[in-house]
Amino acid sequence: MTSTYALAIASSASELQAPLLREFLQRYVSYRVFFNVSMPFSGYSMEFHLPYYALRQSAIPYRDSRPLRRCGRFITTRNTGLPEYLYEAQISVIVTGFDEWFWTAYCCTDTYFGSEKNIHFYHDGGPSGYDAPGGGDRPNHDPIWNPREYFLNVLSRRFRQITKEWSIVVYTIEDRLQFHEASIFYDKIHPFDGAKREASLVDDAKFSRTKEFTWIVELLRLLHNALTKTIESWENFEEGEIQYFQVEDKDILRMDWSRYLEGIEKDMAELRLLRTSLHQKIEMFDNKRNGLVNASVMVESRDATDQGRNIGLLTRVTVAYLPLSLGTGIFSMVIMPKQANWEAYALLLIFLAFLTLAIAFRSHAMKATAMGSWQWLKRAVTERF
């Protein structure tokens, strides 16, 4: 769907269909999930929008030239081969008309990454071509005339398509993330390695593993949220508008329509399992990331403690040499009497040592001893000189 095609659709729509198509195209462009059956003043409309993610291998990524959808690099390993890219895509279908005999179907799909068959297959394949909104699963010479049955047929086939795409994405993620569980399981080929397990709990100086786990969690949350929106939107649709597809008086229609709805329920059950798997992976890698952060904090705390101990040792050495430096400085002053000798120098060093240790370690006993030594030193110096 390009802007030119959108303009062609809008210009050829009737006055009654124009508001419905405007909202339909807006939902398709905005990449949002939506299920709805409405009965306006004249006519009816049935529509669905199924956004999903698809995984493809290619040497270079396919870019959406419009651009409406994004693509990104997928999780890679050494044995991946060609690069893998994750693509945004959406399938949108609306069936609108006045009664069960006069109606029109519009279908918009994203094909920029090779998700659909080419146009020649739909127009020229087989004796009469194939139905494009249904993905080419039904030949045009065997149409479905009832609009509600046609809507259910297309919806069930498109649900099957996106379920396959979601399964490929989630199962590939599980396969890519298995190497993070290597430290848990071991056998004869891969014996238990305690050092390797211990190393897996600590990050490097650049926090490479923390950054990797953060990116993985962001990817898992993106996919989980998208799946949750699809599942919850369908559950809301089941509680309300699904009543328009319940028939009581025609057994053949009821059997066919029930088959379509049962197929959708099977696909929804698979999508719920995929969502549960993503939720478990989110919890696991969230815990791994938090564990790495806590381990890094503990390592930094231990390093800070060791540095504090080293600084304390350096301080003690400095304190030990302080009395010697101070005593030498005093006896080197020019105002000292010439009669000062080594005995006075030794007595001064003893006093300064006691005083320094008393101040450094806040010892009252050593302070008292230092003051007593100072009084004794004064008397000794007075008697000497």
Contact 9, 21 (CB under 8 A): yes
Q: State pTM to two decimals.
A: 0.74
Residue 314: its pLDDT value, please?
A: 75
What pLDDT band is residue 170 in, cutting at 50, 70 and 90? very high
Residue 182 predicted with pLDDT over 60 = no
Residue 376: its pLDDT value, please?
A: 62
Lookup result for tokens 């509600």: 148
Mean pLDDT across the stretch 328-346? 63
Question: For residues 4 and 197, which has the higher predicted lDDT (pLDDT)?
Answer: 4
Contact 331, 345 (CB under 8 A): yes
Alpha carbon distance 231, 225 (integer Å): 10
Residue 383: its pLDDT value, please?
A: 60
Residue 54 predicted with pLDDT over 70 = yes
pLDDT tens, 202-215? 666 677 777 888 88
Contact 34, 27 (CB under 8 A): yes
Mean pLDDT across the stretch 97-115? 89
Alpha carbon distance 203, 211 (integer Å): 10
**Helical axes 364-384 vs 342-361, angle rounded to 10°:** 160
Residue 27: its pLDDT value, please?
A: 93
- Is beta strand 44-57 parallel, antiparallel or unpaired with respect to 71-73? unpaired
Residue 76: its pLDDT value, please?
A: 76
- The single-letter DSSP state of residue 98 is S
Mean pLDDT across the stretch 227-254? 82
Least confident of 79-83, 116-120, 313-317, 358-362: 358-362
Mean pLDDT across the stretch 103-128? 84
Q: What is the dihedral of CA 255, 257, 258, 261, to 10 degrees?
A: 160
Q: What is the dihedral of CA 254, 243, 34, 215, to 10 degrees?
A: -80
Question: For residues 276 and 298, which has the higher predicted lDDT (pLDDT)?
Answer: 276
Calculate the average pLDDT of the chain.
80
Omega cis (within 30) before 67: yes
Residue 80: its pLDDT value, please?
A: 62
Q: What is the dihedral of CA 338, 341, 345, 348, to 10 degrees?
A: -70
Residue 380: its pLDDT value, please?
A: 60
Residue 93: its pLDDT value, please?
A: 96
Q: Residue 212: how many CA atoms within 13 Å on its side-chain side?
A: 14
